[in-house]
Structure 1
């Protein structure tokens, strides 16, 4: 079923396969998603598994598969947003939660020699663990149905609120947004509430002038969905995403996000 969904989505995006291609683009993306779901992102193991299952008419060689996948990588983000629109027909979200997760590309001691991400702008800090890291930040917006609607990748050093201001936040009027303390900005909350009618439900600092005790419990409970989805997503990652280039690293991350949403969509359709 994922291959059929991807085939329809690629047709909706206007993608056409080369007539000489033995393996369609939907099968290439399905193999990448299979690697993310079952083999920790290791494409060689996913190709071997697909060879054993005999569900595909033609399995490309690992080198050919990687060339095809890198050529299709610009379609991963449009596919994600197209499937998010399809999900809205399956589930009418009334609330969303936002959070930021670190994506280290290497150990801290190897940061000066990190070839794909050599600059100091990728040097970030994990507040909950009080340790630095070298890599990217993964910004997620999850609805109350556990679907990842909006994703953003930024270098590790900028504040988490910076990319949050760039997210479109396509939500119905009156929808609630569950935020943690890092997203507390009164001016931004007032602008969104006036322009889009979104209700901010943030975990506020105890001495803040907008601190009210009883909404804190609702914010903590509402944010559990993004913490659960984010933890599940990042637990499926390998210990270190092995990539030679920045584009390869981003492609790996987006394939895991696409696998997460496709699995949820198939589960909802079959249920």
Structure 2
């Protein structure tokens, strides 16, 4: 474990919360920045296990006061509304350090349990969470993680949806705040002109190009009317970065993400995303 990386993450989070105008309760013994840092430490080094992160923080005397596991859990859930604004603020910091011209969009399955346990699942009990992974030809039960990353492997936007939602829901769920003229690489699941158009008669690819000035680079099927061989090669190469980011996140994930509530599951997933981004920021600022 890198103590210096943990301290750097704490400094970045503390400055970010101050910039967001967050103020702790006067009676709180542990600041919100320390609570979030402990969650990031668990995601970055310990597979998301909060109890181990708290014990490690006590052994290393990282903070003046380390809360009990139950108190930490309540504080972390209370800070849940800060996760996405914090991710957005870190994204703005990264854009000032790294000028990206290419972005990639993809979804990844997040199984909540084994398929044989689906009928007994209490965390996600409804059929809407039942999804299918075409590339592996397997079903899963849980959520889909929608990621927008740049060519520097930084995650700019993230969202979670039930597993049964189609990949085309990603451009509708995410803000897609991209610079004008940026290339957006996507796989075959985002080939929107094969599906129903919007009421205006235009497809999602055309709307992205006209309204936001984004250049969609989609891996297309061979029978597609928009199939161009040399563009396919560029789309395949450009999209590899999001697969790399997915592999980096998967390496941090435990075999199964343990959570008792749906909000707890989402909190842990967002902690892994923030941990990934903070790793890149600390490396860039070193």
TM-score bin (small chain): over 0.9
Give 1:34's aligned residue: 41
Give 2:262's aligned residue: 246
State whether structure 2 residue 238 is matched by structure 1 residue 222. yes
Match of 2:20 among 13, 21, 28: 13
The alignment's TM-score, normalised by the length of structure 1, stands at 0.97
Residue 265 of structure 1, CA deviation: 0.7
Residue 267 of structure 1, CA deviation: 0.6
8 A Cα contact 2:159 2:173, kept in partner: no
Residue 161 of structure 1, CA deviation: 0.5
Summarize the alignment of residues 151-190 of structure 1 with structure 2, pairs less than 5 Å apart.
Answer: 151-186=158-193, 187-190=203-206
Residue 195 of structure 1, CA deviation: 1.4
The alignment's TM-score, normalised by the length of structure 2, stands at 0.92
Query: Structure 1, residues 82-110: CA drift from partner, whole Å, max 9, x if none?
Result: 11111111111101001110000000111
Distance, in Å, in 2 between the alignment partners of 1:197 and 1:72 is 35
Unaligned stretches of 5+ residues in structure 2: 1-7, 194-202
8 A Cα contact 1:101 1:137, kept in partner: yes
Distance, in Å, in 1 between the alignment partners of 2:47 and 2:105 is 25
Distance, in Å, in 2 between the alignment partners of 1:69 and 1:177 is 34
Give 1:146's aligned residue: 153
8 A Cα contact 2:128 2:162, kept in partner: yes
Summarize the alignment of residues 89-238 of structure 1 with structure 2, pairs less than 5 Å apart.
Answer: 89-186=96-193, 187-238=203-254
Give 2:3's aligned residue: none
Query: Structure 1, residues 184-219: CA drift from partner, whole Å, max 9, x if none?
Result: 113211111111211111111011111111111111
Distance, in Å, in 2 between the alignment partners of 1:55 and 1:235 is 25
Paired residues, what number?
Answer: 270
Give 2:52's aligned residue: 45
Distance, in Å, in 2 between the alignment partners of 1:26 and 1:141 is 25
Q: Which moved more, 1:47-56 or 1:134-143?
A: 47-56
Distance, in Å, in 2 between the alignment partners of 1:83 and 1:240 is 27
Q: Which moved more, 1:18-27 or 1:134-143?
A: 18-27
Give 1:255's aligned residue: 271
Moved over 6 A (4+): none
Unaligned stretches of 5+ residues in structure 1: none
8 A Cα contact 1:111 1:134, kept in partner: yes
Give 1:78's aligned residue: 85
Distance, in Å, in 1 between the alignment partners of 2:150 and 2:136 is 26
Does the residue aligned with 1:106 lie in a helix, a strand or coil? coil
Query: Structure 1, residues 42-61: CA drift from partner, whole Å, max 9, x if none?
Result: 01111111112112111111
